[in-house]
């Protein structure tokens, strides 16, 4: 009976479940960064974890932008643009000499593409 109630809750609020799953993955990702080598590359990756998580969170939030009313949607777009730029700049500064690793570049590009896709331009 409890299992059915929880299943019903999950079906009623899939965004909450999805956010919970993402949060769990981000926590696991952050924990795994502790095992990175203590060399320059490992420190760059470890220092980048908050930026990578934030870019993923913004990308996901933009997926649900249509659930907001007009004023909130406009504010959400503005915030998303600021957050993407802030975290992109931090990542690029961290890898200034080496260039962004492929998967990091892909994550930045995904966030920028998602912003462009939902922006009313």
Write out pLDDT tens, residues 43-87.
Answer: 999 999 999 999 999 998 898 888 888 889 999 999 999 999 999
Residue 100 has which token pair?
A: 């962004």
Domain count, the chain: 1
From the list 93, 32, 26, the residue with the least C-alpha distance to 58 is 26
Dist. CA 23–CA 95, nearest whole Å:
26
| Assigned domain for 8 exists | no
* CB neighbour list of residue 63: distance below 8 Å, 6 or more residues apart: 114
| Assigned domain for 5 exists | no
From the list 60, 66, 74, 45, the residue with the least C-alpha distance to 111 is 60
Model-level pTM? Answer: 0.77
Q: Which domain holds residue 114?
A: 37-118
| Assigned domain for 59 exists | yes
Residue 89 has which token pair?
A: 């700049």
What's residue 121's pLDDT?
67
**Mean of per-residue pLDDT scores for the chain:** 83
Dist. CA 93–CA 87, nearest whole Å:
10
pLDDT interval class at 6 (50, 70, 90): very low
């Amino acid at each position: 009976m409890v299992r059915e109630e929880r299943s019903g809750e999950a079906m009623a609020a899939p965004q909450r479940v999805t956010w919970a799953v993402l949060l769990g993955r981000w926590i696991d990702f952050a924990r795994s960064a502790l095992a990175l080598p203590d060399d320059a590359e490992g420190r760059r990756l470890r220092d980048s974890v908050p930026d990578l998580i934030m870019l993923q969170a913004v990308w996901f939030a933009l997926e649900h932008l249509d659930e907001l009313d007009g004023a909130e949607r406009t504010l959400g777009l503005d915030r998303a643009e600021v957050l993407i730029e802030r975290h992109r700049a931090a990542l690029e500064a961290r890898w200034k000499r080496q260039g962004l690793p492929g998967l990091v570049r892909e994550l930045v590009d995904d966030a920028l593409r998602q912003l462009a896709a939902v922006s009313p331009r």
